[in-house]
């Protein structure tokens, strides 16, 4: 092949990267991730159907879901370390198989043994938690750097589509199938997540390292140290916590109350949640191709846009305004999520990516229940409007402060170079 440099004009005429939708390895990973996301979403919905059918009590439902959350939070840390220590594909396989095994155990305990259901839910949560950071790291192994933003957008679009169409599909299936069969169907989805994804294309060969490995705690602390090397990551995590634990929790509690008390209809609740998901799909479509010059600032602006949701609930506005505010919040959340995941895959050391990703999931998922638990008593003590005002202010101000952190503008430790 010739070694002479190409003319300058040819450099600026490089073809766009190949679409990830034509990459078989990515499509297999996408199918597995989508199946795991659908199974994760479906479990609480199906267990809710069990309550309606009197196979499970309300207190039992709370216990089972709490056990699943506890299993997730423990396993997401363990899974992050294991996915950096061993093959990411193997971690996805075994964690998804664990969640698949939990499904028939849940079905066996339904209406018979709450203890068995609680243990099975903890196992399901552990499988879900362990596979999250492994999937994140496997995406970086499978997809070339220039295509990862498109890949992450495709992943989040699949999850949002499942959220949008899942309730109707599950309700339709429930007309013909009992709850136990639906639980077994969730197990089949986890089998798809376990067996369909292929190996990463550029895996970090950790098994070949001859030196003895550090202990589990030491390796987890290595992940924390790696996260601390990236100020933009810590700032983003703080902003994400504020929006999830305050903004999202407040709107989750207040929206049903306001839909009932102010508008005297449940239509506002259903329309707002649908608009949020549709907005998120639109945001993912936009960010799949848009490359803003200051992607960090753009992402933080998108995250701050969630503040319009609690703000709309504070004011006596027409219900259409509430629905529109939720659509804006959905758009903004994906303008943050997709660049956030892409930057983490790009900037974090590959051999520590799963551990850093596990910190992301641990903090965002772990503090959401805390926020939900505190918002309702706060509303009872201070009233819904002051609580929403504080939460809206946090959604606007914390991401704005995070955007001022060094390296936050580009989600990178060094500013990207531009070619003219």
CA atoms within 13 A on the CB side of 71: 23
Of 407, 179, 132, nearest in space to 297 by CA: 407
401: number of Cβ within 10 Å: 15
Q: Count of alpha carbons within 13 Å of 186, Cβ hemisphere only?
A: 33
- pLDDT for res 223: 92
291: left (phi over 0), alpha (psi -120 to 50) or beta: beta
Q: Is 390 exposed, middle or buried (0-12, 13-18, 19+ CB in 10 A)?
A: middle
**Separation CA 324–CA 328 (nearest Å):** 6
Q: pLDDT at position 333, please? A: 95
210: number of Cβ within 10 Å: 4
- Name residues whose C-beta falls within 8 Å of residue 353's C-beta, 6 or more positions apart in sequence: 84, 133, 136, 137, 140, 344, 345
Q: How open is the CA angle 40-104-92, to the nearest 5 degrees?
A: 45
Looking at residue 18, what is its pLDDT?
A: 67
How wide is the angle at C-alpha 288 spanned by C-alphas 283 and 292, nearest 5°? 85
CA distance 160 to 158: 6
Q: Residues for the chain: how many in total?
A: 420
Q: How far apart are CA 84 and CA 391, in angstroms?
A: 36
Instruction: Write the CA distances from 96 to 11, 188, 365, integer angstroms.
Output: 44, 10, 19
Distance separating alpha carbons of residues 355 and 77, to the nearest angstrom = 7
Domains along the chain with CATH numbers: 20-148+171-206 (1.20.1250), 220-403 (1.20.1250.20)
Q: What pLDDT is stored for residue 395 in this prediction?
A: 96
- Helices 179-195 and 24-52: angle between axes, nearest 10 degrees: 160
**Are residues 20 and 143 in contact, defined by beta-carbon separation less than 8 angstroms?**
yes
pLDDT in tens, the chain (420 residues): 444 444 444 444 444 566 787 889 999 999 999 999 889 888 988 998 898 888 888 888 989 999 999 999 999 999 999 999 999 999 999 999 999 999 999 999 998 999 999 999 999 999 999 999 999 999 999 999 999 999 999 999 988 888 787 777 877 887 888 999 999 999 999 999 999 998 766 545 444 444 556 788 889 899 999 999 999 999 999 999 999 988 988 888 899 989 988 998 889 998 999 999 999 999 999 999 999 999 999 999 999 999 999 999 998 899 999 999 999 999 999 999 999 999 999 999 999 999 999 999 988 887 777 888 888 889 889 999 999 999 999 999 999 999 999 999 999 977 665 443
Residue 110, helix vs strand vs coil: coil
Helix-strand-coil percent breakdown of the chain, rounded to 5? 80, 0, 20
CB atoms within 10 A of CB 221: 13
For 95, residues 6+ apart whose C-beta sits below 8 A from its C-beta are: 75, 79, 126, 127, 128, 129, 130, 131, 134
pTM for the model stands at 0.87
């Amino acid at each position: 092949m010739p070694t002479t440099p190409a003319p300058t004009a040819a450099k600026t005429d490089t073809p766009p990267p190949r679409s990830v939708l034509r990459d078989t390895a990515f499509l297999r990973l996408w199918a597995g991730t989508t199946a795991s996301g659908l199974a994760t979403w479906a479990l609480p919905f199906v267990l809710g159907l069990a309550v309606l059918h009197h196979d499970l009590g309300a207190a039992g439902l709370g216990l089972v879901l709490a056990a699943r959350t506890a299993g997730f939070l423990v396993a997401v840390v363990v899974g992050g370390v294991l996915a950096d220590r061993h093959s990411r594909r193997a971690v996805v396989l075994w964690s998804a198989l664990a969640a698949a095994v939990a499904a028939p155990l849940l079905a066996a305990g339904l209406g018979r043994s709450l203890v068995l259901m609680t243990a099975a839910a903890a196992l399901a949560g552990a499988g879900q938690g362990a596979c999250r950071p492994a999937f994140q790291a496997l995406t970086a192994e499978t997809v070339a750097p220039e295509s990862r933003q498109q890949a992450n957008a495709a992943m989040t679009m699949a999850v949002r589509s499942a959220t949008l169409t899942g309730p109707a599909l599950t309700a339709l299936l429930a007309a013909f199938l009992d709850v136990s069969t639906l639980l077994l169907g969730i197990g089949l989805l986890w089998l798809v997540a376990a067996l369909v994804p292929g190996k990463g294309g550029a895996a970090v060969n950790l098994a070949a390292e001859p030196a003895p490995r550090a202990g589990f705690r030491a390796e987890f602390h290595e992940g924390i140290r790696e996260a601390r090397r990236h100020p933009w990551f810590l700032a983003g995590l703080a902003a994400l916590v504020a929006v999830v634990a305050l903004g999202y929790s407040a709107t989750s509690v207040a929206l049903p109350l306001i839909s009932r008390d102010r508008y005297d209809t449940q239509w506002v609740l259903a329309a707002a949640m649908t608009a949020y998901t549709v907005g998120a799909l639109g945001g993912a479509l936009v960010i799949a191709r848009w490359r803003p010059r200051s992607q960090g600032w753009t992402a933080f602006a998108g995250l701050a846009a969630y503040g319009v949701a609690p703000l709309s609930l504070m004011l006596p506005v027409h219900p259409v305004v509430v629905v529109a505010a939720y659509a804006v919040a959905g758009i903004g959340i994906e303008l943050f999520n997709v660049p956030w995941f892409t930057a983490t895959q790009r900037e974090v050391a590959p051999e520590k990516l799963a551990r850093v990703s596990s910190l992301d999931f641990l903090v965002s998922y772990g503090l959401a229940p805390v926020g939900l638990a505190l918002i309702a008593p706060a509303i009872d003590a201070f009233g819904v409007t002051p609580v929403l005002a504080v939460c809206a202010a946090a959604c606007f101000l914390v991401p704005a402060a995070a955007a001022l952190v060094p390296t936050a503008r580009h989600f990178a430790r060094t500013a990207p170079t531009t070619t003219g």
